[in-house]
Structure 1
Amino acid sequence: MHVLVAGATGAVGRLLVPLLLEAGHQVTGISRTPAGTERVRRQGASAVQGDVFDRDGLREAVAAAAPDAVIHQLTDLSGADGEATDRLRREGTRHLVDAARSAGVTRIVAQSISWVYVPGEGPADETVPLDIGAAQPRGAMVDGVRALEDTAAEMDTAVLLRYGILYGPGTWYAPGGAVAAALAGDPSARFLGSIEADRSVSSFLHVADAARAAVAALDWPAGPVNIVDDEPAEAREWLPVLAAALGVPAPPEDGSGRQDWARGASNALARARGWRPGHATWRTGFAAQEA
Structure 2
Amino acid sequence: MHVFVAGATGVVGRLLVPLLLDAGHRVTGTSRSPAGTDRIRSQGAAAVRVDALDADALRRAVARAAPDAVIHQLTDLADADGAANTRLRREGTRNLTEAARAAGVSRIVAQSISWAYAPGHGPADESVPLDDTAAQPRARTVAGVRALEETVAGLETAVVLRYGILYGPGTWYAPGGAVAAALAGDPAARFLGSVVADDAVGSFVHVADAARAAVAALDWPGGPVNIVDDEPAPAHEWLPVLADSLGAPVPDRVPGRQGWERGASNTLARSRGWSPARASWRTGFGDQGA
Q: TM-score, normalised by structure 1?
A: 0.99
The residue number in structure 1 matching 2:260 is: 261
The residue number in structure 1 matching 2:190 is: 190
Q: CA deviation at 1:132?
A: 1.8
SS of structure 1 residue aligned to 2:84: helix
Query: CA contact under 8 A between 1:183 and 1:250: conserved in structure 2?
Result: yes
Equivalent runs, 1:1-291 vs 2, <5 Å: 1-254=1-254, 256-290=255-289
User: C-alpha distance in 2, partners of 1:27/1:15?
Assistant: 13
In angstroms, what is the RMSD of aligned CA positions?
0.8
Query: CA contact under 8 A between 2:63 and 2:99: conserved in structure 1?
Result: yes
Provide Cα deviations, 1:10-32, integer angstroms capped at 9, x if missing partner: 00000000000000000000111
Q: CA deviation at 1:134?
A: 1.1
Whichever residue aligns with residue 47 of structure 2, its letter is A
Provide Cα deviations, 1:135-165, integer angstroms capped at 9, x if missing partner: 1100000000000000000010000000000
Q: Which runs of 5+ in 1 are unaligned?
A: none
SS of structure 1 residue aligned to 2:285: helix
Q: Which runs of 5+ in 2 are unaligned?
A: none
- Percent identical among aligned pairs is 75
Q: CA deviation at 1:260?
A: 1.4
SS of structure 2 residue aligned to 1:236: helix
User: C-alpha distance in 1, partners of 2:250/2:92?
Assistant: 37
Provide Cα deviations, 1:83-138, integer angstroms capped at 9, x if missing partner: 00100000000000000100100000000000000011100000000002411100
User: C-alpha distance in 2, partners of 1:242/1:76?
Assistant: 24
Whichever residue aligns with residue 173 of structure 2, its letter is Y
Q: TM-score, normalised by structure 2?
A: 0.99
SS of structure 1 residue aligned to 2:63: helix
How many residues are treated as equivalent by the alignment? Answer: 290
User: C-alpha distance in 2, partners of 1:263/1:101?
Assistant: 36
Provide Cα deviations, 1:8-66, integer angstroms capped at 9, x if missing partner: 00000000000000000000001111111110000000111100011100100000000
Whichever residue aligns with residue 63 of structure 2, its letter is A
User: C-alpha distance in 2, partners of 1:152/1:133?
Assistant: 23
User: C-alpha distance in 1, partners of 2:92/2:133?
Assistant: 23
Provide Cα deviations, 1:162-186, integer angstroms capped at 9, x if missing partner: 0000000010000000000000000
Q: CA deviation at 1:259?
A: 1.6
User: C-alpha distance in 2, partners of 1:133/1:289?
Assistant: 35
User: C-alpha distance in 1, partners of 2:195/2:116?
Assistant: 18
Q: CA deviation at 1:290?
A: 3.9
SS of structure 2 residue aligned to 1:287: coil
Provide Cα deviations, 1:240-267, integer angstroms capped at 9, x if missing partner: 000000010010011x211211000000
Whichever residue aligns with residue 8 of structure 2, its letter is A
User: C-alpha distance in 1, partners of 2:162/2:88?
Assistant: 16
